């Protein structure tokens, strides 16, 4: 389906994400003390303690995980809920592809910073809440992954749900220049689309035409398959950014997923896995992020414009003047240096379209001001 209703887009440093959550499933965990945790009994029980399994790619990162487990109470949720910390290496798991395999993900990782410290859980209120609420307690680049989310945030504070199979994760970034923080979500969008391309090229798979819908959605064949949420805070002269991503990998509902489209295009039995996708994302993100920080977003603009949906798109901008609705036709040209939409009217006038205060329905070619009353 197409999203025909108007969506309010919030300020550029705080963007919405269609977060996705899962129904319950069964998987067993046995620790070194032979405790058996029945995930399917507690996964939808929001009163049950949250368990985070910590892991790192190197011995130094594992030492950080061990110290956090020893401290025990160093991570909290926004509602001050209990979080139990366990070393991932202390757990033997009987699991299926419904359960995220941390070790398999780490094997695919080649980054120097991002994704190397992992907090995984079979169920969480929100991965974004974990990293944003505990930012100072976690190494920069930490990723939190969940198999299930039951309080994921969407636009207008909606709670969104989806079936098993979506890759749900949030990670931390620290930035010095607040002027470029709004552009970070575009780098993340590119990392997603480029990671999928790289996996397809590597495995001889047909090309999946993933597209970016400004400012923070990923589309495939006209349907939404992913979204991005970035929030930031300022502390000690640094911008602490928490980025959350949801990407439909296995799940056919509520819209479409990568593997369904791949099956339609190829006779191969190959399927994308969440572990492969997350590893490819971080490998690509670190590469693009390095260019972004040291050379500026302009080095990525050409690639971004090749990937987004909007170059040359004509839209009607509705405004209100003296009680009358005024309509002007504009053509989208690109992005401004601040990350807003740059458009030209038929009268030659330049327009800068901000996400705040506007309602965008690109599929209907309409941009509407938010009118009071």
Q: Is residue 1 part of a domain?
A: no
The mean of the pLDDT values for the chain is 82
Distances (CA, A) of 288 to 52, 232, 239, 299, 343: 29, 20, 19, 9, 26
Q: Is residue 180 part of a domain?
A: yes
Residues 195, 329, single domain; the answer is no
DSSP annotation of 76 reads -
Task: Count how many domains the chain has.
Answer: 2
Res 19: pLDDT: 27
- % of the chain with per-residue pLDDT over 70: 77
Helix 184-202 crosses helix 274-295 at what angle (to 10 degrees)?
A: 130
Task: Of 19, 83, 44, 49, give the one whose Cα is nearest residue 243.
Answer: 19
Tokens 């780490």 locate to: 106
- Reported as a single tens digit per residue, the pLDDT across 56-102 is 999 999 999 999 999 987 899 998 778 999 999 988 765 566 899 99
The residues, any chain, with a CB within 8 Å of residue 60's CB and separated by 6 or more, are none
Residues 297, 318, single domain; the answer is no
Residues 280, 160, single domain; the answer is yes
Pairing of strands 117-121, 143-146: parallel
Whether the per-residue pLDDT at 241 is higher than 60: the answer is yes
Last residue of a domain, one of 306, 327, 351: 306
What CATH number is attached to the domain comprising 168?
3.30.930.10
Res 129: pLDDT: 94
CB distance 90 to 151 below 8 Å = no
Residues 302, 318, single domain; the answer is no
The residue among 263 and 354 whose pLDDT is bigger is 263
In 3-state terms, the chain is what percent helix, strand and coil (to 5)? 30, 30, 40
Residues 289, 332, single domain; the answer is no
- Reported as a single tens digit per residue, the pLDDT across 27-36 is 322 333 333 3
Sheet containing 91-94: which strands, arranged edge to edge? Answer: 36-38, 28-31, 91-94
Task: Of 87, 214, 228, 100, give the one whose Cα is nearest residue 153.
Answer: 228
Domain containing 30 equals: 7-306
Residues 165, 266, single domain; the answer is yes
Residues 145, 293, single domain; the answer is yes
Low-confidence winner among 44-48, 94-98, 212-216, 351-355 (lowest mean pLDDT)? 44-48
- % of the chain with per-residue pLDDT over 90: 60
Res 342: pLDDT: 92
Res 373: pLDDT: 43
- Reported as a single tens digit per residue, the pLDDT across 34-57 is 333 333 444 445 566 899 999 999
Q: Is residue 2 part of a domain?
A: no
Q: Is residue 351 part of a domain?
A: yes
The residue among 318 and 344 whose pLDDT is bigger is 344
Distances (CA, A) of 128 to 85, 148, 243, 288: 17, 13, 7, 22
Residues 83, 131, single domain; the answer is yes
- What are the backbone dihedrals phi and psi of residue 366, each rounded to the nearest 5 degrees, phi first? -135, 135
Q: Is residue 17 part of a domain?
A: yes
């Amino acid at each position: 389906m197409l999203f025909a209703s108007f969506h309010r887009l919030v300020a550029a440093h705080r963007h919405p994400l269609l977060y996705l959550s899962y129904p319950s499933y069964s998987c067993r965990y046995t620790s070194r003390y032979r405790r058996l945790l029945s995930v399917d009994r507690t996964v939808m029980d929001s009163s049950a303690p949250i368990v985070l399994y910590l892991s790192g790619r190197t011995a130094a990162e594992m030492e950080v995980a061990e110290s956090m487990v020893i401290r025990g109470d160093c991570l909290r949720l926004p509602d001050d809920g209990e979080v139990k910390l366990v070393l991932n290496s202390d757990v033997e798991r009987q699991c299926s592809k419904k359960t995220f395999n941390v070790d398999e993900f780490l094997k695919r990782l080649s980054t120097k910073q991002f994704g190397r410290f992992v907090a995984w859980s079979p169920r969480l209120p929100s991965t974004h809440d974990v990293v944003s609420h505990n930012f100072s307690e976690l190494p920069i680049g930490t990723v939190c992954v969940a198999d299930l989310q039951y309080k994921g945030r969407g636009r207008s504070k909606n709670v969104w749900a989806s079936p098993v199979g979506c890759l749900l994760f949030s990670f931390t970034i620290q930035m010095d220049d607040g002027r470029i923080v709004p552009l970070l979500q575009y780098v993340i969008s590119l990392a997603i689309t480029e990671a999928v391309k790289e996996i397809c090229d590597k495995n001889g798979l047909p090309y999946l035409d993933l597209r970016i819908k400004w400012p923070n959605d990923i589309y495939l064949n006209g349907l939404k398959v992913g979204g991005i949420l970035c929030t930031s805070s300022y502390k000690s002269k640094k911008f602490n950014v928490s980025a959350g991503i949801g990407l439909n990998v296995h799940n056919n509902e509520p819209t479409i997923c990568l593997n369904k489209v791949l099956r339609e295009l190829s006779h191969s039995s190959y399927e994308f896995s969440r572990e492969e996708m997350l590893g490819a994302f971080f490998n690509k993100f670190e590469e693009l992020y390095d260019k972004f920080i040291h050379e500026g977003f302009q080095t990525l603009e050409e690639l971004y414009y090749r990937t987004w949906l909007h170059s040359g798109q004509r839209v009607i901008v509705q405004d209100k003047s003296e009680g009358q609705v005024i309509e002007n036709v504009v053509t989208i040209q690109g992005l401004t240096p601040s990350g807003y939409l740059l458009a030209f009217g038929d009268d030659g006038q330049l327009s800068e379209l901000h996400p705040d205060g506007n309602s965008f329905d690109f599929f209907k070619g309409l941009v509407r001001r938010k009118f009071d009353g």
